[in-house]
């Protein structure tokens, strides 16, 4: 089953409704997880939110787990199916879209092999990577903290983007990371 585990921060009440509409439209099964908000720092809270889901996947013997943040958006019809059908045969983390554009990487469909990524709006973590992820430092950026630790692939063109919204990582400022992504890097169906 392709269950999407959605981390939702109910203090940012405007983020979840548009995602729920998309999940319904594309008939995507999901489970909503309350974001951890009780740690000393935002980064520690984000890290803990992801750890809880990965720990549950490990405890339940899941081969892989799909995690989304509540600012996830699909750029076009068919994006979800494109993401699923291009899951690598072997990987540690498979990413729906990234905000690192590196000219050393080969950007060709359907996958880009990367050393690191920015953006956990839609990721798939393989069971072979659970322990590595769970051993990450609690106070780093959980995406860039993985840099160089495994085999990472980004779906290309990007099947997932972050909806412009307030960012806990940026002191509550509204951010639109999509402005750095070339239009041809975004899946159009």
Summarize pLDDT for 50-82 with one digit per residue, the tens: 999 999 999 999 999 999 999 999 999 999 999
- Examine the pLDDT at 46 and tell me if it is beyond 70: yes
- For the entire predicted model, the pTM comes to 0.94
Q: Could you tell me if 158 and 181 are in contact, meaning their C-beta atoms sit under 8 angstroms apart? A: yes
Q: Could you tell me if 71 and 163 are in contact, meaning their C-beta atoms sit under 8 angstroms apart? A: yes
Q: Could you tell me if 7 and 70 are in contact, meaning their C-beta atoms sit under 8 angstroms apart? A: yes
Contacts of 67 (CB under 8 A, 6+ apart): 4, 5, 6, 7, 50, 53, 54, 120, 122, 123, 124, 125
């Amino acid at each position: 089953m392709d269950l999407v585990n959605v981390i939702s921060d109910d203090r940012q009440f405007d983020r979840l409704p548009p995602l729920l509409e998309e999940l319904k439209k594309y008939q995507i099964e999901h489970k909503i997880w309350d974001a951890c908000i009780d740690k000393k720092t935002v980064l520690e809270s984000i890290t803990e939110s992801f750890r809880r889901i990965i720990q549950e996947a490990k405890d339940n013997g899941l081969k892989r787990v799909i995690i989304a943040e509540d600012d996830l958006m699909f750029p076009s019809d068919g994006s979800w199916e494109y993401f699923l059908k291009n899951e690598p045969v072997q990987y540690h983390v498979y990413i729906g879209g990234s905000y690192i554009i590196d000219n050393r990487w080969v950007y060709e469909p359907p996958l880009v092999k990367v050393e690191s990524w920015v953006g956990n709006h839609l990721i798939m973590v393989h069971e072979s990577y659970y322990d590595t992820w769970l051993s990450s430092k609690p106070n780093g950026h959980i995406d860039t903290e993985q840099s160089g630790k495994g085999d990472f692939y980004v779906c290309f063109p990007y099947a997932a983007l972050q909806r412009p919204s307030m960012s806990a990582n940026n002191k509550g400022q509204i951010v639109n990371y999509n402005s750095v992504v070339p239009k041809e890097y975004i899946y159009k169906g």
